[in-house]
Structure 1
C-alpha cells in the first residue's frame, strides 16, 4: 500500500523507505543509575513541544555509554520525528544524539534527498501523518507505515533552493518575534512608569476584609486587618504618590458606568452572523479585541464600541476592548468612562493591573467578581490633560506591537503558502 497526498505531477516520487533509513530510539532503565547522567544526549518528544528552531544541539537528560546500549545513537543531520505522544514534532540533530522510543528518525540518502527538504516535507504533512496513526490508548505511526509514504523528489539543487527560501521566511519570523518581545517589554515598561500611581485600591465589604490583600501601586502586598474599612497604602505606595500630588483617588462607580453581563436563552444564539456579536468570557478574548464566535439578535446586556470588557467569572480579571456594539453574557462586565474621564486611560489602568483583579473575586464553587466589588474599586486619576498625555505614549507603543503582530500573521500565511507550493512544484 502506498500513502500519498497531493503529490506533484512534475517531479518523480519515492517512498520514504527507499530514500531514508528509518529507526526508532529507546529508553534505558531509569532504575539503573549506571545508565544515566553521562555525556550522551538523549531526546524525548516533550522537549520538542516548545522547540521553535530546526536544529537541536542539547537535551535535558543525558545517558551513559552503558545506557546507550539500550537506546540508539543518531548522527548529526538525522531528521528526528516524534511518532507518538504526539505524532508530528520534527527537528534535525545538530550533533549526534540518542532519542527515546517516541521517535522514528530518518537518516537520508544524501545523494537524492536533502535533510532540510525532508524536514519541511514532514512539517507540511503533519496532519496527514497524524491521520495514519494507529492505537487505542494513544496513536502511534509505525516505521512500516512511514516507509510507504510518498515524497516528491526534485533534483537536489532544487531541494536546496526550496530549503533556502523557506529558511529565509523562518529567519524573518524569528526576527519579527524578537521585535514583538522587545515591543512588549517597552509597552510594559511604559505602562508601569506612566501609571506608577495607578495601582488598584479597593474598599472591601465586610465579607472580604478577612481574606483580601491590597496590591499596592509599587506592586507591594499587605494583609488587611480584620476591621479594615479600606486598604491602607504601604510606605512605598505613599512614596510613589508623593511625586504626583495632582492625582486624586476616586471610586470606579463614580467615574464609569458598569454593565454586568446577562445571558439570554442559549436557543437565541447562532453562528450565522444574525444579530450582534455575543461574548461570554475570556475564551473569545484576543490581544486587544475579542473574536466573535456566536451572535444573538436579542441580547439583554449591551457593550458599546470602545467599552472595556472584563472577565468577571472564572477565570476572572482578563481585559479586552469591545471593537463594536456587542451583547455580553454573565461572564463579562463592561466598563464605560463617564464624561471628563479618558476611556483609554481607564483601559490602560485595567491592563496594568490585570493580574490583580482576581483578588476582588468571591465564591466557593467558582470565583466571580460582583458589581459592588467594581463599584468600590479605587482608581488614582491625574488631571484629564495628563490622562491624554499618558494615553498618547501608551497607545503609540501598543500600536507598534499590534503592527508587528499583524506582520507575524502575514509571515505565517506566506510560510504556509510557500511550503505548500514548494512540494507541489509551484515554487
Structure 2
C-alpha cells in the first residue's frame, strides 16, 4: 500500500487526481423503487420469488429474501425485481442501509434498486463507498418527511461517487471484505460465549458447581440429589432465603443530582444500568451490589439489572444499594443477572422494582464456599467475554479507518497484488 500525494478537489472532496467522480445516477443503468403485494391476496404470497424490505438488510450481502411472493403478486403490485449482483439501498425506512443482492430479489417501497454499470463499477466497492462517511452524511441531510422520513430518489441519483479504475475498486472491496469477515467471526465468538454462559448459569444455579458434586462422587456420595423449591430445582443442601435476610439495603443514603448540579470529578455516578457520569464527590465507599429500581430495562434486559460497584462512588435514586451480610456479592450479581423478576415489578408505563418487593425476593443460598467458587467460574467467563468485546471494538475501528482512507484515496492499493481477491468474488463481482 502507498499514500497518495497528488489530489484534486471534486464534488466528493479531495481525491486522487487520476480518479473520476460521477453521480450515483451515472454509475447505474437503472434506478427504481418497489412495493408490497396485497397481504389480503393469499395467491400473491408463498411463491418462488424472493422479496424483501429494508428491515431485513444486515451486512454487505443479501443472500435470500425476507419472504417469497408469486409472479401474480409481483405483476399486480409496485414491487420490482432487482437482478442479482446489484445494490439495494434503504431510501424510505432504514435510510442509508446498503447491500449487494446475491439473488434476484423483488423489493418493497422501503428500498431502491440500483442496477449498476458493471463496466465502470464493482458492486461491492460501490456498496462500501455508500457506507462511508460522506454519502451517509448526504443520506442524513437529505432525509425528509414527518411520519416516514426518506430520501427522494432524485436526490439519491445526485450523490457524488468516486470511481477509481475497476481493478483498484475490486482490491479496495477485497481488503474491506477481509476485515469485515474477521469482524463477523468475532461477533459469532461473542454470541457463542454468551450462549455458553447462559447454559452454564442455568446448570450452576440448578445443580450446583460440578467440581463440588465431583468431590462428593469421589467420596462415594454419588452426587447430591436435587429438590423442588418455590424458585425451582436446586441441590438438596441449598436453602431458599429472602434477599432481605442476606443483604442490608442502603437506599436511604442515596442522593440524586440533576445533570446541571453535577460537577465533573473522578468518582463514578451510577444509575439503573451502570455508570452514567463521573462527579467530584462520593457518598458510598466499599463493595456494594446495585440493582435497577425502575425502567423498561427491567423487562427488556438489554443491559444488566445488577452490577457490583467498588471503591468510592455516587448513586442516584434509580438503583437500589445492597451490602451483603452473608454470601458472595459476585454470586448474587450473576444470579440476579439471569433471574426473571417480572413477578416482582409494579407499574405499567414504567416498570418499578420497589424496595419492599426487592427485599422479599427469594434467592438460593448455597454454602458460602460454593458461592465463591461459582462466582469465580462465571467471573473467568466474563473476563473472556470482555476480551472478545475489546477485540471486536479494535477490529471495528480498523474497518472504519480503512473504509475512510481507502475511499478517500489516502491509501492506494492499485499497484499491489492481493492474493485473496478471488476469494471475495461471487455474484457481486460478475462483470457485464
Query: Compared with structure 1, are the counterparts of its residues 145 and 22 closer, same or farther at alpha carbon in structure 2 (3 Å cutoff)?
Result: farther
State the Cα distance separating 1:268 from its structure 2 match. 5.4
What is residue 200 of structure 2 aligned with on the other side?
A: 190
In the alignment, what sits opposite 1:203? none
CA deviation profile, 1:347-388 (whole Å, cap 9, x unmatched): 1222231xx223223357744323333333343322232222
Residues 268 and 17 from structure 1, CA distance in 2 versus in 1: closer, same or farther, beyond 3 angstroms? Answer: closer
2-side partners of 1:179 and 1:87: how far apart?
A: 29
Structure 2 residue runs of 5 or longer lacking an equivalent are 1-8, 209-225, 300-304, 412-432
Once superposed, what is the RMSD of the aligned Cα atoms? 3.0
Task: Determine if contact 1:34/1:67 at 8 Å carries over to the other structure.
Answer: no
1:379 corresponds to 2:373? no
Runs of 4+ deviating beyond 6 Å: none
- Among 261, 264, 274, the residue aligned to 1:269: 261
Residues 291, 417 of structure 1: CA spacing in aligned structure 2 closer, same or farther, 3 A cutoff?
farther
Deviation at 1:114, TM superposition (A): 0.5
**Corresponding residue of 1:390:** 374
- Structure 1 counterpart of 2:81: 73
Question: Contact 1:25 / 1:103 at 8 angstroms: preserved in 2?
Answer: yes
State yes or no: 1:357 paired with 2:341: yes
Show CA shifts across 1:392-413 (max 9, x none): 2111112111111111111111
Q: Give the Cα separation in 2 of the matches to 1:308 and 1:118.
A: 50
The answer to whether structure 1 residue 19 and structure 2 residue 37 are counterparts is no
The farther-off stretch of 92-101 and 258-267 is 258-267
* Cα separation, 2, equivalents of 1:383 and 1:129: 59
TM-score (norm 1): 0.78
What corresponds to 2:166 in structure 1?
Answer: 156
Counterpart in the other structure of 1:212: none
The answer for the alignment partner of 2:115 in structure 1 is: 107
Deviations 1:296-348 (A, max 9, x none): 5567xx4546422211123337223326532222211122223x632212212
Deviation digits for residues 24-83 of structure 1 (CA, Å, limit 9, x no counterpart): 2332651555544332222222322xx235233223131315633643222111101011
Give 1:8's match in structure 2, choosing from 7, 10, 15. 15
| Deviations 1:121-176 (CA, angstroms, capped at 9, x unpaired) | 11113243231223344332223222221111111111111111111111111111
Question: Are 2:322 and 1:313 equivalent residues in the alignment?
Answer: no
- Pair 1:332-2:319 in alignment: yes
- Inter-partner Cα distance in structure 1 for 2:118 and 2:64: 21
Give the alignment's TM-score, normalised by structure 2.
0.77
Separation in 2 of the partners of 1:257 and 1:393? 26
1:179-216 CA deviation, whole Å, 9 max, x = no partner?
Answer: 11111122122212222268xxxxxxxxxxxxxxxxxx
Partner residue of 1:346? 332
Is the counterpart of residue 174 in structure 1 residue 184 in structure 2?
yes
In structure 2, relative to structure 1, the CA distance for the partners of 1:152 and 1:364 (3 Å cut) is closer
Give how far 1:266 is off: 2.4
Tell me by how many angstroms 1:419 deviates: 0.7
Name the SS of the counterpart of 2:363 in structure 1. Answer: strand
Aligned partners of 1:132 and 1:3: how far apart in 2?
20
> Number of residue pairs matched?
374
Counterparts of 1:306 and 1:156, CA distance in 2: 60
Report 1:94-133 matches (<5 A): 94-124=102-132, 125-133=135-143
The answer as to whether partners of 1:84 and 1:140 remain within 8 angstroms in 2 is: yes
CA change 1:23–1:265 in 2 (3 A) is same
Task: Return the alpha-carbon distance in structure 2 between the equivalents of residues 130 and 365 of structure 1.
Answer: 32
Q: Distance in 2 between matches of 1:33 and 1:188?
A: 40
| Alignment check: 8 A CA contact 2:268 2:314 kept | yes
Contact 2:11 2:21 (C-alpha < 8 Å) held by counterparts? no
Q: CA deviation at 1:101?
A: 2.8
Aligned partner (choices 241, 265, 280) of residue 235 of structure 2:
241
Distance 1:96 1:372, change over 3 A: closer
Query: Which residue is equivalent to 1:259?
Result: 250
Matched with 2:419 is none
- Contact persistence 2:144–2:150 (CA under 8 A): yes
